[in-house]
């Protein structure tokens, strides 16, 4: 369900609207850039299908396609009858070139261990991994859930799944067992791949224990495959169901023939939050997805053979899928993979990694940049960051202040910043600068990537040439989602029902006189907390699941670091008392149900919720209350008459 456009929740609009500084690519960057010529936009626009088929030809196909696109709104098929394998494209094809001995992954564990894997190492390991999957009875089309820390085996597990034609569903290691259970059950996964644990901020996260908890209610799971990451972890293994990866690995052959997949065969599903209480499994297929991520990886990050790329996302999110696993590896990039927190043991961990390995391209989220700003530039200043050539931003609008800080203190005013807009659903970056071409405006993701068509719309579906509205995508692109797992209706309703033939993104956007796009945040019941998507209804369901809660309403409120934080209004059942104890209990309950990312920053106990005559919760009023604009600082709204009078005032407005 979409609402009329409201100001985004973090105050970015007003800041963005005043921003008019322009940063041109430096001559030295432009002269070495892969793309230096604006004409690529025009050429792609003249024939989008040909543009994308030229890109697809850069992948290795067992069999070429016989048609580029079949578009029966809202169902797209790309590269019809083409056959390829994603793992082959990420690994095998490099075995025939110098990239065989090139470092693929430089991994650093949070406690400081280092592992370096060449493309050949990764190829051998993935072949073994794929044979282990087969030995556990996994076949083409079967679903595999992956719940892993940030270790190279997470990437191997994904590539191994792709190799044998299984469908992976990676669940972020910070999600609770309950969230893992829901995703496993929705996907009908027969295998769960996990690890004994991983490190985060000096503590062990016992992923195997959490997995055990989850699978108690997962009837489809037949086996759990456990990668050993820790030294002395006491791990309970259930006979017949649980298997150590290192044991099974010894028993299988070295080579696994990649499955020849149809372009439209599913590569993975990835769950993301929507406007209902239930996350949806976004479907991505092989040919189109691989084309989108391989192309954008190369052109947006201006990849050069000697680059050391670092995307700080977790593989549990789409950014990790597209720009840690498939995009970088299809391009044969050397990349950093880091397991832990940016402030562990100190607040310069990221900068020490950049210096140590000579990182050239660094891709992170505005929430991290705002935290770095708050910690102060003395931390990056301790390190030589002169290897950096380009910086990237993703996940939420970047406020100009953070952009300028990033540009100055991390990029020494030498590095272009690519502010990349995209979504789990879009598979790859869609709105972004091309760093050797585009003049940058801090806070703007600039223009649609070549071959992508985006427009800003009014509520009634008319196109806005200049001004604010909703972002829609007006022609199909190869890496677009193909649907929602098991719910075709929801796919149509969610993305294609607002205006005919136009994909509705759920984002507000403004287009300026130069045709630059300024993303303004979500306009639906999705909130973006520190770059992570959550549905307000998901958090509300978690709250009402607690025995003491009668009703709840969740809104996003602005937060200096996270961009948006969660405020929850809660009506308790009779006999339960509001207070610090209850506040703590309910916050913990949400963490238990969803995961730490969903912990409300603020709980406001109330006796009533302001609703419109038609029964809809007045979220704007709630936001104003939670942010102190309507009532001052409140934690309890005991007097229902206050709300009643506020409601009347807001209704008049």
- List of residues contacting ligand PRX (CB under 6 A): 272, 318-319, 394-397, 419-424, 445, 505-507, 519, 521-522, 528, 533
Residue that the structure tokens 């590896």 belong to: 329
Is 81 within 8 Å of 66 (Cβ atoms)? yes
Q: In this complex, which beta carbon is closest to ligand PRX, that of residue 454 or of residue 519?
A: 519
End-to-end CA gap in the chain: 23
Q: In this complex, which beta carbon is closest to ligand PRX, that of residue 208 or of residue 321?
A: 321
DSSP readout, 526-594?
A: EEEETTEEEEHHHHHHHHHTSTTEEEEEEEEEEETTTEEEEEEEEEEPTT---SHHHHHHHHHHHHHHT
In whole angstroms, the minimum distance from the beta carbon of 419 to ligand PRX comes to 5
Q: In this complex, which beta carbon is closest to ligand PRX, that of residue 393 or of residue 552?
A: 393
Farthest CA pair distance, the chain: 74
Helical segments of 136-167, H only: 152-164
Q: In this complex, which beta carbon is closest to ligand PRX, that of residue 164 or of residue 519?
A: 519
The whole-angstrom distance between residue 136's C-alpha and the CA centroid of its chain comes to 30
In whole angstroms, the minimum distance from the beta carbon of 467 to ligand PRX comes to 18
Q: Which two tokens stand for residue 589?
A: 């309950």
* Local structure of 244: helix, strand or coil: strand
In whole angstroms, the minimum distance from the beta carbon of 118 to ligand PRX comes to 29
Count other C-beta atoms under 10 Å from residue 639's C-beta.
Answer: 12
In whole angstroms, the minimum distance from the beta carbon of 397 to ligand PRX comes to 4
In whole angstroms, the minimum distance from the beta carbon of 614 to ligand PRX comes to 27
Q: In this complex, which beta carbon is closest to ligand PRX, that of residue 529 or of residue 603?
A: 529
Q: In this complex, which beta carbon is closest to ligand PRX, that of residue 33 or of residue 394?
A: 394
Is 420 within 8 Å of 394 (Cβ atoms)? yes
Q: In this complex, which beta carbon is closest to ligand PRX, that of residue 186 or of residue 259?
A: 186
What's the DSSP call for residue 511?
Answer: E
In whole angstroms, the minimum distance from the beta carbon of 347 to ligand PRX comes to 24
Q: In this complex, which beta carbon is closest to ligand PRX, that of residue 145 or of residue 471?
A: 471
* Local structure of 435: helix, strand or coil: coil
Q: In this complex, which beta carbon is closest to ligand PRX, that of residue 61 or of residue 363?
A: 363
Conformation bin of residue 252: beta by default, left when phi > 0, alpha when psi is -120 to 50: beta
Is 165 within 8 Å of 261 (Cβ atoms)? yes
Minimal CA–CA distance to 652: which of 618, 604, 608? 618
CA dihedral (187, 222, 590, 521) in degrees, to 10, reads -30
In whole angstroms, the minimum distance from the beta carbon of 6 to ligand PRX comes to 14
In whole angstroms, the minimum distance from the beta carbon of 246 to ligand PRX comes to 33
Q: In this complex, which beta carbon is closest to ligand PRX, that of residue 423 or of residue 601?
A: 423
Residues 436-439: contacts with CB under 8 Å, at least 24 apart: 436/25, 436/29, 436/30, 436/32, 436/33, 436/34, 436/35, 436/36, 436/302, 437/25, 437/30, 437/33, 437/35, 437/36, 437/37, 437/38, 437/40, 438/25, 439/22, 439/23, 439/24, 439/25
In whole angstroms, the minimum distance from the beta carbon of 286 to ligand PRX comes to 20
In whole angstroms, the minimum distance from the beta carbon of 327 to ligand PRX comes to 12
Q: Are strands 143-147 and 167-170 parallel, antiparallel or unpaired?
A: parallel
In whole angstroms, the minimum distance from the beta carbon of 425 to ligand PRX comes to 7
Buried residues in 221-239 as b, exposed as e (16+ CB within 10 A):
bbbbbbbbbbeeeebeeee
Q: In this complex, which beta carbon is closest to ligand PRX, that of residue 311 or of residue 570?
A: 311
In whole angstroms, the minimum distance from the beta carbon of 154 to ligand PRX comes to 18
Give the C-alpha separation, 207 to 3, whole Å: 39
Q: In this complex, which beta carbon is closest to ligand PRX, that of residue 149 or of residue 521?
A: 521
Q: In this complex, which beta carbon is closest to ligand PRX, that of residue 227 or of residue 523?
A: 523
Q: Which two tokens stand for residue 610?
A: 């302001």
Give the C-alpha separation, 572 to 563, whole Å: 29
Q: In this complex, which beta carbon is closest to ligand PRX, that of residue 12 or of residue 606?
A: 12
Q: In this structure, what are the phi and psi dihedrals at residue 225, rounded to the nearest 5 degrees?
A: -100, 125
In whole angstroms, the minimum distance from the beta carbon of 144 to ligand PRX comes to 21
Helical segments of 23-143, H only: 27-32, 39-46, 48-56, 86-90, 119-135
In whole angstroms, the minimum distance from the beta carbon of 349 to ligand PRX comes to 22
In whole angstroms, the minimum distance from the beta carbon of 404 to ligand PRX comes to 16
Conformation bin of residue 74: beta by default, left when phi > 0, alpha when psi is -120 to 50: alpha
Give the C-alpha separation, 535 to 532, whole Å: 10
In whole angstroms, the minimum distance from the beta carbon of 507 to ligand PRX comes to 5
Is 136 within 8 Å of 223 (Cβ atoms)? yes
Residue that the structure tokens 């100009």 belong to: 400
Q: In this complex, which beta carbon is closest to ligand PRX, that of residue 153 or of residue 396?
A: 396
Q: In this complex, which beta carbon is closest to ligand PRX, that of residue 221 or of residue 523?
A: 523
Count other C-beta atoms under 10 Å from residue 355's C-beta.
Answer: 18
Is 145 within 8 Å of 180 (Cβ atoms)? yes
């Amino acid at each position: 369900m979409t609402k009329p456009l409201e100001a985004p929740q973090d105050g970015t609009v007003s800041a963005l609207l005043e921003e008019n500084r322009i940063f041109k690519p430096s001559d030295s960057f432009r002269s070495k850039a892969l793309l230096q010529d604006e004409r690529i936009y025009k050429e792609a626009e003249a024939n989008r299908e040909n543009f994308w088929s030229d890109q697809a030809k850069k992948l290795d196909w067992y069999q070429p396609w016989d048609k580029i696109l079949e578009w029966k709104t809202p169902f797209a098929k790309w590269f019809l009858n083409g056959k390829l394998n994603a793992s082959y494209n990420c690994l095998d094809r490099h075995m025939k070139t110098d990239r065989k001995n090139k470092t693929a992954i430089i991994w650093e564990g949070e406690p400081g261990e280092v592992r370096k894997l060449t493309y050949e190492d990764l190829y051998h390991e993935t072949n073994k991994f794929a044979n282990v999957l087969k030995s556990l009875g996994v076949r083409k089309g079967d679903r595999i859930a992956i719940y892993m820390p940030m270790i190279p085996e997470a990437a191997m597990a994904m590539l191994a799944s792709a190799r044998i034609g299984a469908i992976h569903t990676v669940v972020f290691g910070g999600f609770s067992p309950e969230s893992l259970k829901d995703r496993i059950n929705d996907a009908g996964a027969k295998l769960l791949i996990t690890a004994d644990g991983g490190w985060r901020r000096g503590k062990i996260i016992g992923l195997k224990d959490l997995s055990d908890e989850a699978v108690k209610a997962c009837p489809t799971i037949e086996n759990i495959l456990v990668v050993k990451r820790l030294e002395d972890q006491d791990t309970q293994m259930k006979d017949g169901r649980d298997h150590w990866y290192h044991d099974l690995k010894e028993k299988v052959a070295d080579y696994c023939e990649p499955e020849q997949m149809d372009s439209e065969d599913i590569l993975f599903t990835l769950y993301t939050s929507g406007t209902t209480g239930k996350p949806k499994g976004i479907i991505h297929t092989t040919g189109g997805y691989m084309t989108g991520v391989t192309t954008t990886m190369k052109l947006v990050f201006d990849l050069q053979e000697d680059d050391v790329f670092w995307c700080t996302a977790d593989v549990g999110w789409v950014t990790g899928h597209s720009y840690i696993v498939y995009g970088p590896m299809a391009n044969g990039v050397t990349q950093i993979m880091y397991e832990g927190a940016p402030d562990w043991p100190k607040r310069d961990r990221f900068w020490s990694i950049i210096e140590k390995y000579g990182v050239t391209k660094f891709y992170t989220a505005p929430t991290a940049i705002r935290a770095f700003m708050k910690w102060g530039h003395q931390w990056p200043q301790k390190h030589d960051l002169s290897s950096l050539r380009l910086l990237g931003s993703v996940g939420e609008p970047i406020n100009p202040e953070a952009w300028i800080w990033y540009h100055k203190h991390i990029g020494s005013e030498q590095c272009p910043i690519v502010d990349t807009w995209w979504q789990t659903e879009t598979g790859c970056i869609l709105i972004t600068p091309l760093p050797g071409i585009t003049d940058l405006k801090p806070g703007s993701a600039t223009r649609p990537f070549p071959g992508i068509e985006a427009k800003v719309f009014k509520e009634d579906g008319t196109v806005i040439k200049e001004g604010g509205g909703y972002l829609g995508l007006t022609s199909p692109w190869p890496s677009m989602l193909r649907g929602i797992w098991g719910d075709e209706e929801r796919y149509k309703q969610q993305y294609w029902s607002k205006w005919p033939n136009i994909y509705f993104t759920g984002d507000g956007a403004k287009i300026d006189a130069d045709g630059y796009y300024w993303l303004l945040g979500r306009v639906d019941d999705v909130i973006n907390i520190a770059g992570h998507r959550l549905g307000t209804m998901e958090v509300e369901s978690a709250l009402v699941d607690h025995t003491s809660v009668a009703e709840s309403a969740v809104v996003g409120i602005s937060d200096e670091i996270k961009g948006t934080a969660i405020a929850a209004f809660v009506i308790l059942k009779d006999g339960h008392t509001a207070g610090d104890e209850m506040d703590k209990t309910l916050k913990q309950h949400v963490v238990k149900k969803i995961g730490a990312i969903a912990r409300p920053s603020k709980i406001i106990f109330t006796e009533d919720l302001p609703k419109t005559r038609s029964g809809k919760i007045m979220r704007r009023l709630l936001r104003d209350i939670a942010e102190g604009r309507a009532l001052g600082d409140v934690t309890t709204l005991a007097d229902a008459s206050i709300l009643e009078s506020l409601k009347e005032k807001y209704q008049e407005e």
